[in-house]
Amino acid sequence: MSALKQYVHNHSPKNDHSLLKTITFAMTHFTVAFTVAYWLTGDIMIGGLIAMVEPAINTVAYFFHEKIWKRYEQNSTTSAVNSASAFPESPLGC
């Protein structure tokens, strides 16, 4: 098993697709960045350079953005459950 596959298998919480989403986002972003840069400059080297630098930085930012949102969603769910259990119903229904 590759190191990346092993890391994802052993460290990824169930139903957390952040890494997979990051990889597909990166591929899409590299393609778009290269295409736009090439159209604007007409130069494959400049298009390639821009397509490597900007999306690489943006992809790292996206990965952490996904992690922050996942934590926010988990905290929101936990807060809602805790709020509901903070005021349990009385056995008499009052």
pLDDT in tens, 61-92: 888 998 999 888 888 877 766 666 555 555 56
Report the distance separating Cα 80 and Cα 40, nearest Å: 49
pLDDT in tens, 18-62: 788 888 888 998 899 899 999 999 999 999 998 889 888 988 888
Residue 88 φ then ψ, to 5° = -65, 150
Structure tokens of 10? 């052993």
With contact defined as beta carbons under 8 Å apart, do 9 and 1 qualify? yes
Residues with Cβ < 8 Å from 1, sequence gap 6 or more? 9
pTM for this model (two decimals): 0.50
